[in-house]
A = this chain, B = another copy of it.
């Protein structure tokens, strides 16, 4: 965690430092990231940096925590959405809402992506907490009779989140394209991709385009 001097800084200066760090760690791994680059971009003296943070790792963890919290924090409308919609709708909608947040920077997702290969215990905890919000919704939806009771909630969440990150990373500037793919993926998990017997699909007279409704 930053030293208290960091929090005594003017918001403007603190922001400069934060943004510079964000950008550096979004584009470089921990050891590739350069303190020199950060202080240069933040336009602060080298000595000052060590007034604010104990060392490189201190800054890094602070960044991760901030980013993770951003992901973990329920969105404005999440509460009300959650009331009626199922977990899948919640994920779709909150993901959309997330990208519409003004203070969410593209770097956040890059860093979140890098967290995946991170073995740091602290990071693991953050990741787990983030997943828990959704596993809880899944359990609720099971009770609601919307989701098969024997479906493993954790697996569902992991599947969606790992795909989501990956896909974002590959589509990078094209958020709309990414959101569309995410929708498709979630739909597959919901409905399955096999043509068949389950779901009563295939039962005579019942198909995708059947007349019920």
What residues make up the interface of A, taking CB atoms closer than 8 Å to B? 28-32, 84-86, 88-89, 113-114, 116-117, 145-148, 150-152, 155-156, 158-159, 162-163, 165-167, 169, 181, 184-185, 187-203, 206-213
Contacts and interface: CB of A to CB of B under 8 A. Distances in A.
A134 to B, nearest CB: 13
Contacts of A155: 163, 181, 184-185, 188
Contact of A191 (B28, B147, B192): B192
Contacts of A202: 88-89, 187, 190
B86 A208 contact: yes
B208 A200 contact: yes
A185 B202 CA distance: 13
Contacts of A29: 29, 31-32
A147 B212 contact: no
